[in-house]
A and B are shown apart, each in its own frame.
Chain A
Amino acid sequence: MSIKLERINYIYGQGTEMVVHALKDIHIEIKDGEFVGLIGHTGSGKSTLVQHLNGLIKPTEGHIYFDGQDIYAEGYDMKKHRSNVGLVFQYPEHQLFEVDVLSDVCFGPKNLGLKKDEAEAQAKEALALVGMGEQYYKRSPFDLSGGQKRRVAIAGVLAMKPKMLILDEPTAGLDPQGRKEILELISGLRERAGITIVLVSHSMEDVAEYVDRVIVMNKGAVAYDGAPKEVFSHLEELEEMGLAAPEVSYIVHKLREKGLEVETDAITMEEAAKDILAALEARRKGNL
């Protein structure tokens, strides 16, 4: 399974006073099993881009191929496509509507035409994946805590058994503990259910720690696309785009400026700690 975007352009409000060229010549391919982080300053087009992936927005120009098939070809099953490519919007808990948790999670599979018991089986599986046990099935989704609601909403998409899951800022508005839980859950999904994941995020730390490929958007175009270490090495360029590298990146760079011979490619706390200790060790040895 792979999804490929070819020269995608998207323009909001065509033929009106407020024309916004939101995407410019986007060319990317996401392969099976990847964990991609999508970052960019506010308004850079991240949400617009991810809505293209599951066919919610039709590109003004360009093509989208899923497993080699053009998703806008005549007779392409868009409903099936939307279940293959699950999209979790920002603040997904705002879309809950059913009387109890289980029925809400069943909504997706039922729309795909599954029978009640099949839908329920898939819903239960999805709820288990997000760590919501049986005791929640009959609770009203509106009585849950913020973090629990979000889990239920994510389960609502997972219940359609997507091959690819896109999450638009899934940690927005959660406390540090809640953020960590959601992120662990997402990276666990890839390992346990083998789902390809695209994570839209504002937090460089989150991206650095979990993903294995980073795509940086700037003013509607792809600025960088590569491994986190490689992308975050462009410190100054990222800052010009209103972004930043993970905090530790700045620390190791500062240390090097001050004369400590430390590697500067660390992007997570653990790596940085190891590199700094190694550098200190080397210096101590040199001094002897």
Chain B
Amino acid sequence: MIRDITIGQYYQTDSVIHRLDPRVKLAGTIIYIVTLFLVGNIWGYLLATLGLAAVIKLSKVPLGYILRGMKAIGFLLGITVVFNMFLTPGTPIFSFWIFTLTWEGIRTALFMGWRLILLIISASLMTLTTTPNQLTDGMEKALKPLNKLGVPVHEIAMMMSISLRFIPILLEETDKIMKAQIARGADFESGNIIEKAKAMVPLLVPLFISAFRRANDLAMAMESRCYRGGEGRTKMKPLIYKKADKLAYLYLLGFAVITVFVGRL
């Protein structure tokens, strides 16, 4: 069902990329995406692809696994490419009805598709190599300065990681309650909108109750361990840049500068 989606999932393994500080990966992804938008020729794209391929290799995530996650957006990609091919003005190759295939169109479409693929792979590579907890930790630390402006950064990060943790649990719970009510003759499929909405009550009530129960249990567990928010709270695994992280920043910047330079020649 909903569990089949692989985009945004974490791939468990041990690699240089997995061990990097999440802030490096966050910054890296952003820098890479910006780079992609600055590149304008084939050499730039090739370089960007090469760079990404190197990172994939280092991350030890199987290429097949990454590409399978792309299936979901294949349709979107197809539409983008086709529209660009036919709707870009330029030298026509052939035309029918209101569509005209142009050389410029093919060029734009190829670059556009290429860019989209790289963009999505790079973003999913970040989530594949970083656990949701690390990701929120990284964001918390990176956004720390906003604390001075009165933004409760820690609390927001904590809420984010708890919500992320709860998504699969709630999905599973929904599945279970749905089945239990179907076993009692409930029908979630037939009927008009009003009947369908009514049929949701036996699903939603237990689901909310269970969510509240879990939230309550969690709050109790946190309180009994004296959790009281971000003020003065230390971390078991504080994020500290190591040598590898600093090196990674250097490589990243070097790569971005060269790629943009080549890409805009």
Contact = CB atoms under 8 A, between A and B. Distances in A.
Given A89-B176, A89-B180, A94 B206 contact: yes
Nearest to A90: B176
Q: Is the interface of B mostly helix, strand, loop or mixed?
A: helix
Interface in B152-185: 176-177, 179-185
B236 interface: no
The CB with the most chain B CB atoms within 10 A, among A16, A17, A18, A56, is that of A17
The CB with the most chain B CB atoms within 10 A, among A18, A51, A95, is that of A95
Nearest to A113: B185
Contact of A83 (B185, B187, B202, B210): B185
A92 interface: yes
B182 A56 contact: yes
A160 interface: yes
B179 A111 contact: no
A82 B206 CA distance: 21
B184 A111 contact: yes
Contacts of B65: 17
Contact of B202 (A16, A86, A87, A97): A97
A17 B65 CA distance: 8
Nearest to B181: A95
Contact of B186 (A13, A87, A111): A111
A51 B65 CA distance: 31
Interface residues of A, number: 27
Interface string A207-221: 000000000000000
Contact of A89 (B3, B179, B205, B210): B179
B193 interface: no
A95 B179 CA distance: 10
B185 A112 contact: yes
Nearest to A99: B205
A87 B180 CA distance: 8
B231 interface: no
B180 A92 contact: yes
Contact of B185 (A92, A95, A111): A111
Interface of B: 3-4, 6, 65, 68, 176-177, 179-187, 201-202, 205-206, 209-210
Interface of A: 13, 15-18, 51, 54, 56, 79, 82-83, 86-87, 89, 92, 94-97, 107-108, 111-112, 142, 156-157, 160
* Pairs A-B, 4 closest by C-beta atoms: A111-B185, A97-B205, A95-B180, A108-B184
